[in-house]
Structure 1
Amino acid sequence: MTPHADPQTGAAVKAADRAHVFHSWSAQGLIDPLAVAGAEGAYFWDYDGNRYLDFTSGLVYTNIGYQHPKVVAAIQEQAGRLATFAPAFAVQARSEAARLIAERTPGDLDRIFFTNGGAEAVEHAIRMARLHTGRPKVMSAYRSYHGGTATAINITGDPRRWASDSGTAGVVHFWGPFPYRSAFYAADEDQECARALAHLEETIAFEGPGTVAAIILETIPGTAGIMVPPPGYLAGVREICDRHGIVLVLDEVMAGFGRTGRWFAAEHFGVVPDLMTFAKGVNSGYVPLGGVAVSDRIAATFERRPYPGGLTYSGHPLACAAAVATIEAMEEEKVVENAAALGETVVGPALRALAERHPSVGEVRGTGMFWALDLVRDRATREPLVPYNASGEANAPMAAFAAACKRGGLWPFVNMNRTHVVPPCNITEAELKEGFAALDAALSVADEHTV
C-alpha cells in the first residue's frame, strides 16, 4: 500500500488522542504521539505521507509484520463463525492454538494456560509456582522486565519498578551475567558464568532455600539490553533450582516465536523450564494473547486441586484464531529460519561493520532478529552515552540519535543508552540494508557526543 497525505484526518486523530487517551509510561503533557495512518509488512506511515521502516516490531511483537493477509483473514473468518465464547468451554480455535504452541515448546511444557498478555502470564506463572511449592519468595534479575501488573512490576529489575515497589512482595533481585558490564569483574565469559552462578547460589543461601518458590529469568533479556547469557549459565540455574526444589520460570514473552532464530530462545541453551511465559509473537499482537506453558510436574499439582485463577477472555477465539494462522504462516513461510539465517549472515556482520566505523558503538550483541547496540561516550571506559535512566537534558544524545533515525525513515527502538535492532522476523535482506543505511547516518550524530 502506498502512503498518501491526509493531514486533516491526521490532525483530528491527534486531537482526539490528546484529549482522551491516557498513555502508558508517560508524562501526559510532555508527549507528542505520532498519528499512524497505516502499516504493511515492515513499514508504517503517518498522515503526512512519511513512511518508516519499523526496527521495533511495534513493541517487539509484530514478528510477521503488519497486516499479514493470512492472519487478517483468519480473524475475519473466526469473527463470522464464533466471535467470542467463555473460557470454560472447549472451542476449536482455542484447542488448536494450544496444540500448536505445545508442539513447539521444549520438553513436557504441554499444557497451555491462556492470558491476555505477557504481564498476566508472569502473574499466573508466579502464582502457580508459589502454590506448587508452598513458598513465598521469587527471585529475579536486576536487568529485567517482566510486565506492569502488581506482581510482574515488582519482579521487574529496571527503574519502571520503583514507583510501584511495595517492598513486601516477596521478591529478591540478583545480578545476572553480563560480560560487557560485569558486576563480577570477570575477565571472560567462562568466569562471568561461574561467578554469576556462585552469586545466585549465595543469595539463595542467605534468603533460605526453603523460602524460594521460583527463579524467573528472561531467557535472553529484552528491554534490559539483549544480553545473550554465556554458555552454561542457564543450565547452571536449572541445576541449582533442581537441587533446592525451586521452580524455574523462563520468560519468553519477547524472545519467543522466532525472535531469536528458534521457536523459543530456550532451544539455544538446551534447558527446559518448569513454566514458560509467552505473548507478543504468538500471534504478532494482532489480537491480545499471552499464556503460560506448564510442565507435567506443575500441572499435576492442580489435577485434583482447583487452580485459583482465571480471566474472562482467557483463550479468546479471535486471539487464538490469530495464533493458529500466525504459527501456520511462520511454518509455511519459514519465518523462523529467515530470522536465523539473516541474523547470522546479514544483521550480525552489518552491525559489527557499523561498530568499526562509529566510536559511539561500544558493543554489538544478539541473535536472530534480536540485537542491541550499546552506545558509549568512551569505548575505553565503556561509559554509557547517557547516564542510567537518564531523562531531559541528560538524555539529549540519545534523543538526537533517535531523531536522526526518524529523519532517515527508520523508526528505532531506543532504551537508555542502547538502540535495539528488532525488525519483523520475515524482513528481507534489502529492507535490512535500507535500515542499516539510516542507522549508519544516525550513529554519526551519536559519535558527536563521544570523547
Structure 2
Amino acid sequence: MNATDLLPNGLRLDEARAEARRTYELDRAHVFHSWSAQAEISPMTITASAGSYVWDGDGNRLLDFSSQLVNTNIGHQHPKVVAAIAAQAAKLCTIAPQHANDARSEAARLITSHTPDGLDKVFFTNAGADANEHAVRMARLHTGRYKVLTRYRSYHGGTDTAINMTGDPRRWPNDHANSGVVHFFGPFLYRSRFHAETEQQECERALAHLDEVVRMEGPSTIAAIVLESVPGTAGIMVPPPGYLAGVREICDRHGIVFIADEVMAGFGRTGRWFAFEHGDAVPDLITFAKGVNSGYVPLGGVVIDAEIAATFDHRPYPGGLTYSGHPLATAAAVATIRAMEDEHVVEHAATIGAEVIGPGLHDLAQRHRCIGEIRGAGVFWALELVADRDSREPLAPYGSSSPAMNETIAACKAGGLLPFANFNRIHVVPPCTVTADEVREGLAILDRALDVADGHLG
C-alpha cells in the first residue's frame, strides 16, 4: 500500500500508522491486559477491519481466522449492524433495566424464536461469564442445592464462579476449592481417559464416568451440570453421538439442571443456531454471548425454560445488572440475527465447513506430520499439533506454549493470517460469513506456516 492509500475506515495509511504509534504508546503506559504478564507482551495494534480482514498498525492486511475471540460471527463492520447501532444511539442510548425498551424486547423475541419450545424467557447480561454466573445462581435457587459439575478441558469465563467452573489452567491461580464446583472428564477420543478405541466406546465410558461422579458426590447435592455444547478454547471436541442425550438423561433422573454453555459455539458457529442441536438433547438453561451480535457491543444472557422461570414468578430473583439488555447492545443483536436470517449465514457456515474448511484441513493433514488430528464443524475447527503422531506428544505442553508453536504462529502472521492458538492447537474459526476463496487463501498461508512446525519434528 502507498502512504496515501485509504483503509476501510477512511484513514490514509500514513494517518493510520501515526495513530497506531500513539495508540501503542498509550496502551503500554496505561492499559492493563487480561491473562498477561504486563512487561512481557507487545500487543498488535489494529487500526481497521472489514468483513474477514483486519489491518495492523503498519497497514498490513491479515485474514482473521480467529474471529477475534471467536465472536465476529457476522464478520467485521457489517453495515446493517453498524447502522442499527447508530440508529439506536440517535433514538435511545441507554435506559435502566427495570424499564421495557423495544430493542431488548425484540432481541429476546428473536433469540427465543431459535430455541426449543418452552425456552421462552431471556435474562440479559453483559457477557458470557456473567451469563454463566447467573445460570448457576438460578439453578441453585431452583433446586435448593449447591454443587455444580463441569468438565475438565472447558472454559466458562473469568468471574469468580465461572473461572472455578473452568476446566483449564486459567482456573488454577483462582481456585480455592470452596466454590462448590466438581470437575469430571468429558469425551475426547484422541486423548481418551477411558482407554476407548471408538467414538461409541468413548461416549458410553464417559457417560458411565459422569454417572459415577454424580453418585459419589450425592445426586441430592448437585444443582447443575454445565457443559459447553462443543468445548471451544479447550479444543473444539465435538461430542460423540448420544453424549448430550446421555447427560440429559442423568440430569432428568436426579432432578439436576442441565445448562448448555453456548457462549462460543452458539449463533451459527457450528452450522446450527445452537450447537446442542447436533445432539438429541434440550437443556434447561442456555447461556450465550459473543455471536449474538458478533461482539459489536458487549452482550450476553441466559435463556430460561418455563419451569425454572416459574420459580421466580412470585419470588424475586436476587440478581441484576445496571446494563442488562442495554439498548445499543440489544439493537446490535436484533440487526445481527435479522441479517443472519436474511443472508442465510447459519446455512452458509454449515456448507463452508462441510465443503471447504473440513476437506481443506484434512488435505493439510496428509502433507504435514505435525497434524495429529482435525476436528470440528461449521466454522469451528481445531488442528491438534503433535511432535510425534505415534505417541501423540503435543507440540506444546498442556497449559503452555513452545518455540515450535511460537514460530508457527509467527509464520501465520507474517504470511497475512491472524490465527487463534491455544497450547498445542491452532483453531480455524473465521467468521460465519467467510467466503470459499478466503478460506482457500487462509489455508494456503497455514500450509506454509505448518512447514515451520514440521521442521521441529525429529
TM-score (norm 2): 0.97
Quick check: 1:217–1:251 contact (8 Å CA) kept in 2?
A: yes
Per-residue CA deviation, residues 58-85 of structure 1 (Å, 9 max, x unaligned), is: 1000001111100000000000011100
1:106 to partner: Cα distance: 2.3
Is 1:33 aligned with 2:43? yes
The match for 1:438 is 445
- Deviations 1:345-371, CA, capped at 9 Å, x for gaps: 000000000000000000000000000
2:25 to 12, 15, 28: 15
Q: 1:449 aligns with which of 439, 450, 456?
A: 456
- Is residue 131 of structure 2 the alignment partner of residue 121 of structure 1? yes
Is the contact made by 1:405 and 1:438 (CA closer than 8 Å) also made in structure 2?
yes
CA contact (8 A) 1:193 1:233 kept: yes
Match of 1:95 among 95, 105, 117: 105
Partner SS for 2:407: helix
Instruction: Name the residue aligned to 2:3.
Output: none
Of 136, 144, 148, the match for 2:146: 136
Contact 2:151–2:183 (Cα < 8 Å) also in 1: yes
CA distance in 2, matches of 1:285, 1:8: 27
| Residue equivalent to 1:406 | 413
- Return the alpha-carbon distance in structure 2 between the equivalents of residues 383 and 46 of structure 1: 34
Cα shift at 1:2:
3.7
Q: What do the CA deviations read for 1:37-72 (whole angstroms, capped 9, x no partner)?
A: 110000000231111000000100000111110000
Letter in 1 for 2:383: L
Would you identify which runs of 4 or more consecutive aligned residues in structure 1 move more than 4 Å?
none
Partner of 2:299: 289
Name the counterpart of 1:193: 203
Q: Which residue does the alignment assign to 1:149?
A: 159
331, 336, 342: which one pairs with 2:341? 331
1:34 positional shift: 1.0
Output the CA distance in 2 between the equivalents of 1:76 and 1:361.
Answer: 45
Residues 107 and 272, structure 1, Cα contact 8 Å, conserved in 2:
no
Mapped pair 1:217 → 2:227:
yes
Q: Secondary structure at the match of 2:119?
A: coil
Distance 1:203 1:389 in 2: 25
Instruction: State the 1:266 CA deviation.
Output: 1.1
Checking the alignment, whether the CA contact within 8 Å between 2:7 and 2:48 is kept in structure 1 is no
2:84 and 2:307 map into 1 onto residues whose CA distance is 34
Report the secondary structure of 1:104's partner residue. Answer: coil
Of 366, 378, 387, the residue aligned with 1:368 is 378
Question: What is the TM-score with the length of structure 1 in the denominator?
Answer: 0.98
Would you say 1:416 and 2:426 are equivalent positions? no
In the alignment, is the contact (CA less than 8 A) between 1:93 and 1:321 conserved in 2?
yes
Asked if the contact 1:372/1:419 (under 8 Å) is kept, the reply is yes
Deviations 1:98-121 (A, max 9, x none): 000000012321100000000000
CA deviation vs aligned residue, 1:389-428 (integer Å, no higher than 9, x gap): 124xxx1111000000001000010000000000000010
Aligned to 2:350, the other structure's residue is in SS state helix
Q: How does 1:216-295 map to 2 (within 5 A)?
A: 216-295=226-305
Q: Is the 8 A contact 1:109 1:295 kept in 2?
A: yes
- The amino acid across from 2:235 in the alignment is G
Give the letter aligned to residue 422 of structure 1.
Answer: V
Instruction: Give the AA of the match of 1:424.
Output: P
- Tell me which residue corresponds to 1:396: 403
SS in 1 for 2:240: coil
Residues of 2 paired with 1:341 and 1:8: CA distance? 41
The one-letter code sitting in structure 2 at the alignment partner of 1:77 is A
Once the 2 structures are TM-superposed, how far is the Cα of residue 204 of structure 1 from its aligned partner? 0.7
- 1:347 counterpart residue number: 357
Residue number in structure 2 paired with 1:378: 388
Task: Give the percent of matched residue pairs that are identical in Structure 1 and Structure 2.
Answer: 66
SS in 2 for 1:110: strand
Unpaired stretches in structure 2, ≥5 consecutive residues: 1-5
Distance in 1, matches of 2:35 and 2:452, equals: 27
- How far, CA to CA, are the matches of 2:263 and 2:280 in structure 1? 18
Are 1:50 and 2:67 matched, yes or no? Answer: no
What is the rounded CA distance, in whole Å, between the counterparts of 1:87 and 1:28 in structure 2?
Answer: 36
Matching residue of 2:88: 78
For 2:375, the aligned partner's letter is R
Look up the match of 1:313: 323
- CA deviation map 1:177-215 (0-9, x unaligned): 000100000010010001000000111111011000000
1:8 positional shift: 2.5
SS in structure 2 of the partner of residue 19 of structure 1: helix
Please, which of 77, 80, 84 is the counterpart of residue 67 of structure 1?
Answer: 77
RMSD: 0.9
Q: Is the 8 A contact 1:118 1:277 kept in 2?
A: yes
> Aligned partners of 2:433 and 2:116: how far apart in 1?
23
Question: SS of the residue aligned with 1:424?
Answer: coil
User: For 1:2 and 1:88, how far apart are their aligned partners in 2?
Assistant: 42
* Alpha-carbon shift at residue 449 of structure 1 (Å): 1.6
* Whole-angstrom distance in 2 between the partners of 1:101 and 1:81: 22
Kindly state the Cα deviation for residue 36 of structure 1 after the two structures are TM-superposed. Answer: 1.0
2:122 is the alignment partner of 1:109:
no
What CA distance in whole angstroms lies between the structure 1 residues aligned with 2:295 and 2:278? 24
Size of the aligned set, in residue pairs, is 448
What's the secondary structure of 1:364's corresponding residue? strand
In the other structure, the counterpart of 1:159 is: 169
Whether the 8 Å CA contact 2:242–2:280 is kept in 1: the answer is no
1:140 aligned counterpart, secondary structure: strand
- Contact 1:106-1:266 within 8 A present in 2 as well: no
C-alpha distance in structure 2 between counterparts of 1:326 and 1:206, whole Å: 44
Give secondary structure in 1 for the equivalent of 2:123. Answer: strand
Unpaired runs of 5+ in structure 1? none
